[in-house]
Amino acid sequence: MKFAVQEDKVPGSSLPDKLRRLETYGYDGIELWGRDGLRESIGSIDDWLSTSKVKISTICSGYSGDLLAADRESRERAILGIEERLGWASQLGAVGLITVPTFGGPKLSDLSPLFPSMKELETRLLVEEVKRLSKSAEDKGAYLILEPINRYETHFMNRLEQAVAICREIGSEKVAVMADYFHMNIEESKIEESIGQFSDFIVHLHLADSNRVQPGYGHTDFSSLAVLERKGFKHYGALECSILGNPETELPRTLAYLKKHL
């Protein structure tokens, strides 16, 4: 297992500076936000990576629109934004793009009795969209990574099993799942069992303690990392959390803490 940090959690005035610091701390990767400004930086980032041991782990969201929006224009905007960022991930050698299908409550109209429930309607729509996106992911060689998040942030996809069900229906090697420890702490009955059951679909982790600060400052048990390690997990776990204290001290300490659980 390799470890990374989201770019905004790393001290430094520029990406090359952040890469140097992460290398000093002992991390393997950095997770980039997929904001539009990244488009103009791809070439420069490629140059910086050529002299760094730290690589791009993943690109996190950053596109506009909503895959489960009521209006087609918003859905199409999300699809095109995701396809573009899958290309960026491929160019930068990242595992893939992290995608949350929708935030908040339902946006679609109730179409019962044609669809018995709103969830069925949303699921059918998402499956068709992900089928299209899977072809782009396969062509570009980067994963489309579905992220379940907790019930207070979305009504739709909260647990690993729900994301895995989409993956199974699509049947593409490039549609996968990420496991976020903060969200799992809320939604999964037993994190270790869920990780073990769905490990074949997991290609990325977000690491945060129960209080959404760095691991070691809450009550989450990170021993489940060893489950993935035993199964040969070769991808990244990235810190997505607030950093209590001085990052120069805390980021190396957190890395040592996580490695103790492998």
Name the residues annotated as catalytic: 147, 240
For 18, half-sphere exposure in the C-beta direction (CA atoms, 13 angstrom radius) is 20
- Give the whole-angstrom CA distance, residue 187 versus residue 100: 16
What residue ranges in the chain does DSSP mark as E strands? Answer: 2-6, 29-33, 55-60, 96-99, 143-146, 175-180, 202-207, 236-239
Beta bridge partners of 259: none
245-251: long-range contacts at Cβ-Cβ below 8 A with a sequence spacing of 24 or more?
247/9, 247/10, 247/11, 248/11, 248/21, 250/214, 251/5, 251/9, 251/10, 251/22, 251/25, 251/27, 251/214
Copy the structure tokens of residue 33: 């936000």
